[in-house]
Each structure stands twice: as structure tokens, then as C-alpha cells.
Structure 1
Amino acid sequence: MIGTLSYGQGNEIINQYQTFTSYLEKQTRSLVELEPAFNEKKALERIRSQAWSLVFAPPGLATIAMTEHGYIPLLPLEGIGNLRSVIVVRQDSPFQTLKALADQTIALGQIGSATGYYFPIFNLYGLTIDKIFFLSTPKAILESVAQGKAVAGSLSLEEFKTYQSQFPFGTFRLLFTDTHNVPPGVVLIAPSISAHRTEEILQILNDTPSAIANEAGFVPHSPVPDYTYMISVVERVRNIFPETTQFSTENVRLYK
């Protein structure tokens, strides 16, 4: 079973991997199925249970899968070289600094999102937030800010560029852009797969024709990205902010 994260892309994500899954079936001589998870919460459930043998994981999910559940990184995903976490507000918002968000309501992504959850909490360290909404998609985060339900929301800069066009021009402005690059995602393999089979699958991935690899979004014959800083951010966030599965949390103190 191949797992990946899909924010409601439906058939689009299935079509994206169709040629690759057919190729992998032929090369491994086994049935290969794709299971998209439509948010980080569902993806983490599948990773915890090791229901996915191969995972095309964005950086936040990859960090959890590697550090907590023993998944092994094989190859990098095609990624933006300068993926950044940003915090956005409405254009007419009076807030100009992160400190101004103290005692306000903000919208974040779910546990497992590097740019929507881990990096913003890391950057808001030291503040007391009145309420946090944990929303399942970047578009939902922007909607909450646009509607005034939250005064600020966090997502990646690329997601912001993608989804802001679905709102009236000038609805948002950037309040904060993180200066640290988020590493590209990675292709992971479950620890339940034998070492011999893992080597075999890695070789198959490396031998994938470039057109198929490009379509599936991974980079053969490339080193795994350095996750040292990403792992440190996740560990720090866990120290200052206990993980929750609730949809919202009130009166949150982001202190160690």
C-alpha cells in the first residue's frame, strides 16, 4: 500500500500516481494500491498502524514517521528549494508583529504539518494565545482568517500563493515569514519491510524512467535531505505544547 497526503484532490492525485503504481506493480510482481489521506490526522493514523508500506511524505509527516515509527527514508520528493512557513492576516488587520497575536485567536494546520503546525508554534513561543483552531487544509485556514474567525493563520508560502487567488484580491497580507527552509519531503518505507526487499525497492525507484518519476514527484539517485533542524523543531514544539486531537484549544500558553 502506498500512502500520500492529498488535500481533497480526489481523482487528481490518483491520476498523478497511476503510471507509477502500474510500473511498481510490474517491477515488484505484486499488487500495488494507492491510498490518499485527505489531512495530516488521517495520514498519521495510517503511519502509526504501519498500514502504508511506502509513503510519499511531506516534511512534517516524514519527521514523525522516521523518529517515532521507524520508517526509513529512501529518496527525496521534488520540492520547493525554499519552502517556508508564513503567518498571514487580513489586509485590514491592525497586527504588525507576532507579539501582537498574544491573547488572540489563530488558525493552524493539524499535527504533522511542518509549515502549518510545527514552525508557527515554534515561532510563537513565549505567547499566550486565546484560542487555536486546528484546521485540516490550507484553504480552510485562509477561510477562517478571511471570515474573521481567526486573526491570523499559518501555512506554507507556496500554499498561500496557490490559494489566495481563490479569495478577493487584497484579502490577505503576510505578517511573518520564517527564515528557515523546510526540507523537501521524502519517500519512506515501513520498518516491517525486510532489508533485502527494501534494497530491491530502492533499486526499482532509482531505475524508474524519469517521466514516471517526475509525474510521481520523487527524485531517483538523490541523497535524502538533512532533517536535523526539522527534527529539533518538532522536539521543541512537543516540549512547549502537548499534542492534541481536538479541533480547537483555548487559553494556550506556549511556554516550556
Structure 2
Amino acid sequence: MRLPLRLRHLLLTQLFLLPALAFSSCSQNSSEPVEKWVVGLVSYDTGAQSLDKYQNFKEYLGKQTHKIIELEPALNELQAVQQINNKTWSVVFAPPGLAAIAIGKNQYTPIFPLQGLKNLRSVLLVRDDSPVSTIADLANKVVALGQPGSASGYYLPLYDLYGLTLKEIRFSPTPATILEWLSKGTIDAGALSEEEFQQHRNQFGTTKFRVLHTSRPVPAGVVLVSPTVDANAQEQIKKAMNEATGSIVEDAGYIPNVKVPDYSQFVKLVEKVRPLDAQVKKKPAVLEFNQTSAATPQPQ
């Protein structure tokens, strides 16, 4: 039986459309972008070398979450703060100073503590032959600090130096550089963590250093998740990291299934010190708050 012309035309149209629709559907599915998460960390001067130990973690997290995972090292805390302020980093392996800014100012969520010292302290160092014997003796002297964002190199020493007028504050790109400057006598004092001091102290020939002051302790570093990562995805990250193998956990340097440290007090300390940011770049550097700044800290 011969079909009416109109019906034949309709059937032919459908036969041509079906492959096109199928191709369109496949194209749409294949072109759907895979979400990318950037994992940030501070590597100082080691750069790409520091990423090696995170490779297994990167591959594992990508497989478990079906996301593209990218590792991004920052060479110092200042670069890291910029990335956190821009919320470029989805996950951060953050030392304490960086963690305080991310939690207090940028609403990042801590999910795991990092391995290492639980009670990090900052030390103010001088050369052993220096006449400086107290913090007050640093008035009108040249003092080196780490980059803004560093707990041991910046926030803790600034808190303890409050009230002094310094001839100049110099900013070191790495903790080892502070000891180098001290050994050459180009600064009078410098701040870094106890751990970094022990690590680098013997690299400068016969120069001996003396601890002038030791700060209060701060919490351990933490793994943070950005507020741009939704709640379901955050739980997915936590589950994957909790269930990772021991070798992956060890290489990445975090502690699963452990309560994160309380950052509330340290966040308050950082918020008190941050109004000094404008003062530290001046010569001389007057480390006092004006009347519109935050409440005066009480150095301990």
C-alpha cells in the first residue's frame, strides 16, 4: 500500500533528525566541563620539588571525587594570602598564620590538622655577640620578619614587638634568609619558628645565634576547604581523605580522624595585629595603633 505523500514526508524527516539528535546528545555529554579544584600549599624556595610528595594524593583525590585536581605551590605566605583572598584555592595545606587569615577573613573551613609541632612558637634571634639583651633593646634597631601571612615570622613577633619604634623592618622571603642576614650583621634581630631555627642554625659557619624571646604557642596547621566548595563536595573530600591509605596520608602530611585545633584565640590575635600592616613598611616603623585601630594587644 502506497503511503500518502504527507505521511511519507513526515517519516523521512524523522529518519534524518534521529541521527542528528543522537549526535547532538553525545556531543553535549562529552563536552560537559569537569570541575577543577586547586590544592594550594606554601613551598618557600623548593618550588615544583615540593609537589612530588603530593602526587599520589592528587591522583587519589581526583579519582575519588571525579574532579580535575591541580597542585599549586606558593613560594611564600604573601603569595598564598593573595590566592586565599581570591578564593583561587579550593583546598589548602595551611600553616597557622595562613590558616588564621583563611578562617577569620575568608570563611575557609578546617577539616584536618597537619602533622608537625602542635605548639608552634616564634623566636626572636640575635647574634650571640650582640649587646641586645631584652626586646626593649631593639628600639631603633633593624629587625627582619617573614612575609605577612606567617605566624612565626610575622604575626607573633609583631605582637611581641608592639610599642617599639624600629629603625627599619626588613621582610625575608624564607626563614633561612633571616639567619643569613644575621650572620652577615646586616640586621640586629630576626624572627622565625623554633623548628626552622633548629633546621637551619648550623648552615652559617661559626656564627652563633641567641634566642632573645620565645612567643606564646599557636595551633598546628590545618587542611582547609574553600567556601566556594559546596557542602556535599566538602563531605566528599573529607570522606576521601579519611579513607586514604597510610602512605598517601603520610606523604601529604595530614592527620585523619582527628579533631581540628581551636583557632578562635589565634584568629583574634591576628586580627589585633593586622592594623600594624601599614606601619611596618615605614622608616622608622612605629609599632603602635592609632585611635581608630583595634584594641592594644598585651604582649606576653
Identify the TM-score tier after normalising by the shorter chain. Answer: over 0.9
Q: Give the Cα–Cα distance (whole angstroms) in 2 for the partners of residues 194 and 232 of structure 1.
A: 27
TM-score using structure 1 length: 0.94
1:1-256 equivalences under 5 Å are: 1-178=38-215, 180-239=216-275, 241-243=276-278, 248-256=281-289
Aligned Cα RMSD in Å?
Answer: 1.4
Provide the identity percentage.
Answer: 44
After superposition, the C-alpha distances for 1:55-86 in whole angstroms (9 at most, x for unaligned) are: 00000001101111111111111121232100
Aligned residue pairs: how many? 252
TM score, norm. by length of structure 2 = 0.81
Give the unaligned 5+ runs of structure 2: 1-37, 290-300
Code of the aligned partner of 1:214: E
Rounded Cα–Cα distance in structure 1 between residues aligned with 2:282 and 2:221: 28
Gaps of 5+ in 1: none
8 Å CA contact 2:40, 2:92 repeated in 1: yes
- More relative contact order, 1 or 2 (CA 8 Å, 6+ apart): 1
Give every structure 1 segment of 4 or more consecutive aligned residues whose post-TM-superposition deviation is greater than 2 Å. none
Q: Residue 133 of structure 1 contacts residue 249 of structure 1 at CA under 8 Å; is this kept in 2?
A: no
CA contact (8 A) 2:113 2:259 kept: yes
Report the equivalent of 2:292: none
Give the C-alpha shift of residue 22 in structure 1: 1.2
Q: Distance in 1 between matches of 2:270 and 2:259?
A: 22
Provide, for residues 128-174 of structure 1, a one-character-per-residue CA deviation record: whole Å limited to 9, x for no partner.
11100011210111112112121000000000111112111343111
Distance 1:112 1:11 in 2: 21
CA deviation string 1:184-206 (max 9, x = no partner) = 11111110111111111111111
Q: Larger helix proportion, structure 1 or 2?
A: 2
